[in-house]
C-alpha cells in the first residue's frame, strides 16, 4: 500500500512530468492561456493517460514480451495511444455531449502529447505491474493537470499585469514556467523526510 | 521478423475492428433541430442576425440564445416557418437586424473595377471571381445578395440589383402574399408577365 502511495506522490509532486521530467511541454505552453481550456485539457489528459498507460502495459506484457518483440515497443505504444484516444473521443461524444463540448479539440490533440508515450515507456523501463502502471499513469496525469491549471491561473494574472516590454508574451510565460520548475524541485526533499 | 509483422498486423486489425465497431455503435446524430432550422434559413451567410453565418444562428436559436426574428433575408415567411417548427408565436422581423428587401444580387461595374480583390475576401459564398489587378465579376447563380461585398469596395463599383423574375428564378408565391407586379403562374410568365394579367 505504501508503495502505491509513494508512486502517486512521486509522480504528482517529486518527479512531476512537466516540471521535472520536461515531458508534455507543448500542451503546457499551448493551452495554458485560459483557465477554462486548461481545465478541459487537464481532464481529457487525465482520462487518456491512465487508460493508455494500462493498455500499453497489457500490449507489452501479453503481446510483445511473449513473442520477444520488445523492440517494437515504441510503434506499438503509439498505435495503442492513438486508438485509445480515438475510442475515448467516440464514447465521450456519444455518452456525454456536455463533456465532449468542454474537452472539444483537446481530446484528439492528446495523441501527440509526449507525456503519454513517456509514461508508457517508463512503465516498461521501471517494470511496473498492472496496478502500478495504472497508478503511475494516473499520478502522472494528476501532476500534469495540477501544474497546467496552476500555470494557466498564473498566466491569466500575468496577462493583465504590467510586464516590461521585452518580457511580454511567451518570454514571461517561459520565465514563469522555469520558476515553477525550481519551486517543484523543493518537493524532492519530501523523500528523505 | 515474420512474427513481428504478423503481430503488428494483428494488432492493427484488432484495433481497426474495434474502432469500426465503435464508429457504428457510438454513432452520434447531430442535433436534428439545428439541421431543420438551418434548412429554413436562407443560407445567405450575411451575418445580419449577429452570428457568423446561418448555421451558427441556427445553433443559437436551438439553444434558446437567439430569437427567431433576426433574419431579414428570410423575411416574414422565414419567421413563420421557424415559428411553426419550434411551436412559437411568429413575430415581425426585428428592425435592429435590418429590413426585408426583395432578393438581390451584386453586380460589379466592370469598367470601374480596379481588381483590388477586397470584395472577394468579403464574399461568404465565393461568388466573386477575379484576381489581383484583374477585373472581377459576380457569379449570379451563387450570389446570395448578402451585401457584404459592398462596403469594402474602394471605388463603389458594386451595385445591388433586384433579381429579375425569369423562368429559372420564378418560384411559387406564398398564398397570403401575392404581389401585384409578379407573374403568379408559369403561363403568365411565358405570355409576358403580370402586366398582361392586370390589363
Q: Tell me: the pLDDT tens digits for A55-109?
A: 999 999 988 888 888 888 899 999 999 998 888 888 888 877 777 777 767 778 8
Per residue in B179-193, pLDDT (tens digit) is: 555 555 666 666 654
What CATH number does domain B33-97 carry, 1.10.1420.10, 1.10.20.140, 2.60.120.260, 1.10.15.40?
1.10.15.40
Of A51, A63, A18, A43, the C-alpha closest to A120 is: A51
Rounded Cα–Cα distance for residues B140 and B103 (Å) = 12
Taking CB atoms and an 8 Å cutoff, what residues of chain B touch A69?
Answer: 3-4, 7
pLDDT value of position A151: 93
**Is the reported ipTM for this assembly greater than 0.85?**
no
Closest CB to A83: pick one of B3, B19, B26: B19
C-alpha cell at A149: 491549471
Closest CB to A93: pick one of B7, B12, B26: B26
Stretch B73-102: mean pLDDT: 82
Closest CB to B26: pick one of A69, A72, A90: A90
Domains B33-97 and B102-165 share a fold: no
* Domain covering B102-165, topology: Alpha-Beta Plaits (3.30.70)
Rounded Cα–Cα distance for residues A48 and A28 (Å) = 16
Share of chain B above pLDDT 70, in %: 86
What residue segments make up the domains of chain B, in order of their start? Answer: 33-97, 102-165
Contact A80, A52 (CB under 8 A): yes
What is the number of CB-based contacts under 8 A between chain A and chain B?
Answer: 43
Rounded Cα–Cα distance for residues B101 and B95 (Å) = 12
Residue B197 pLDDT grade (very low, low, confident, very high; cuts 50, 70, 90): very low
A79:B12 CB<8 A: yes
Q: How far is CA B149 from CA A112, B46, B105, B131, B153, in A?
A: 41, 10, 11, 15, 7
Computed over every residue of chain B, the mean pLDDT equals 81
What is the full per-residue pLDDT of chain A (193 aa) written as tens digits?
A: 888 888 888 888 888 888 888 888 888 888 888 888 888 888 888 888 999 999 999 999 988 888 888 888 899 999 999 998 888 888 888 877 777 777 767 778 888 888 889 999 999 888 888 999 999 999 999 999 999 999 999 999 988 888 898 888 889 999 999 999 999 888 887 765 4
Rounded Cα–Cα distance for residues B128 and B139 (Å) = 6
Taking CB atoms and an 8 Å cutoff, what residues of chain A touch B8?
Answer: 72, 75-76, 79
Contact B94, B76 (CB under 8 A): no
Between residues B30 and B13, the one the model is more confident about = B13
C-alpha cell at B191: 405570355
Question: Is A79 near chain B, with CB under 8 Å?
Answer: yes
Q: Is the pLDDT of residue B154 over 60?
A: yes
Per residue in B97-119, pLDDT (tens digit) is: 877 777 788 899 888 889 888 99
Share of chain B above pLDDT 90, in %: 6
Per residue in B119-145, pLDDT (tens digit) is: 998 888 889 988 888 888 898 888 888
Amino acid at each position: 500500500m505504501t508503495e502505491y502511495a509513494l508512486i502517486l506522490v512521486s509522480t504528482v509532486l517529486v518527479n512531476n512530468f512537466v516540471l521535472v521530467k520536461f515531458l508534455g511541454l507543448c500542451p503546457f505552453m499551448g493551452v495554458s492561456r485560459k483557465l477554462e481550456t486548461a481545465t478541459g485539457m487537464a481532464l481529457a489528459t487525465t482520462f487518456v493517460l491512465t487508460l493508455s498507460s494500462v493498455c500499453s502495459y497489457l500490449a507489452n506484457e501479453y503481446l510483445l514480451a511473449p513473442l520477444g518483440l520488445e523492440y517494437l515497443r515504441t510503434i506499438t505504444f503509439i498505435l495503442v495511444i492513438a486508438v485509445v484516444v480515438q475510442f475515448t473521443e467516440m464514447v465521450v461524444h456519444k455518452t456525454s455531449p456536455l463533456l465532449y463540448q468542454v474537452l472539444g479539440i483537446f481530446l484528439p490533440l492528446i495523441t501527440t502529447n509526449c507525456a503519454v508515450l513517456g509514461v508508457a515507456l517508463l512503465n516498461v523501463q521501471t517494470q511496473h505491474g498492472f496496478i502500478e502502471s495504472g497508478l503511475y499513469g494516473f499520478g502522472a496525469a494528476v501532476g500534469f493537470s495540477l501544474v497546467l491549471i496552476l500555470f494557466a491561473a498564473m498566466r491569466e494574472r500575468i496577462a493583465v499585469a504590467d510586464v516590461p516590454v521585452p518580457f511580454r508574451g511567451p518570454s514571461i510565460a517561459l520565465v514563469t514556467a522555469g520558476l515553477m520548475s525550481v519551486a517543484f524541485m523543493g518537493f524532492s526533499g519530501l523523500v528523505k523526510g | 521478423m515474420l512474427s513481428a509483422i504478423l503481430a503488428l498486423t494483428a494488432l492493427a486489425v484488432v484495433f481497426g475492428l474495434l474502432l469500426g465497431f465503435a464508429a457504428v455503435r457510438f454513432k452520434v446524430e447531430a442535433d436534428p433541430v439545428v439541421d431543420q432550422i438551418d434548412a429554413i434559413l436562407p443560407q445567405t451567410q450575411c451575418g445580419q442576425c449577429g452570428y457568423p453565418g446561418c448555421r451558427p444562428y441556427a445553433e443559437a436559436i436551438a439553444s434558446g440564445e437567439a430569437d427567431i426574428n433576426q433574419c431579414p433575408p428570410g423575411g416574414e415567411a422565414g419567421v413563420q416557418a421557424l415559428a411553426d417548427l419550434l411551436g412559437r408565436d411568429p413575430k415581425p422581423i426585428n428592425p435592429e437586424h435590418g429590413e426585408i428587401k426583395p432578393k438581390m444580387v451584386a453586380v460589379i461595374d466592370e469598367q470601374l473595377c480596379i481588381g483590388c480583390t477586397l470584395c472577394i475576401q468579403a464574399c461568404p459564398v465565393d461568388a466573386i471571381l477575379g484576381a489581383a489587378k484583374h477585373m472581377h465579376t459576380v457569379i449570379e447563380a451563387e450570389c446570395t445578395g448578402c451585401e457584404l461585398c459592398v462596403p469594402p469596395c474602394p471605388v463603389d463599383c458594386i451595385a445591388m440589383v433586384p433579381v429579375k423574375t425569369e423562368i429559372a428564378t420564378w418560384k411559387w408565391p406564398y398564398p397570403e402574399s401575392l404581389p401585384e407586379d409578379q407573374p403568379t403562374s408559369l403561363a403568365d410568365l411565358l405570355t409576358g408577365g403580370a402586366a398582361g394579367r392586370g390589363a
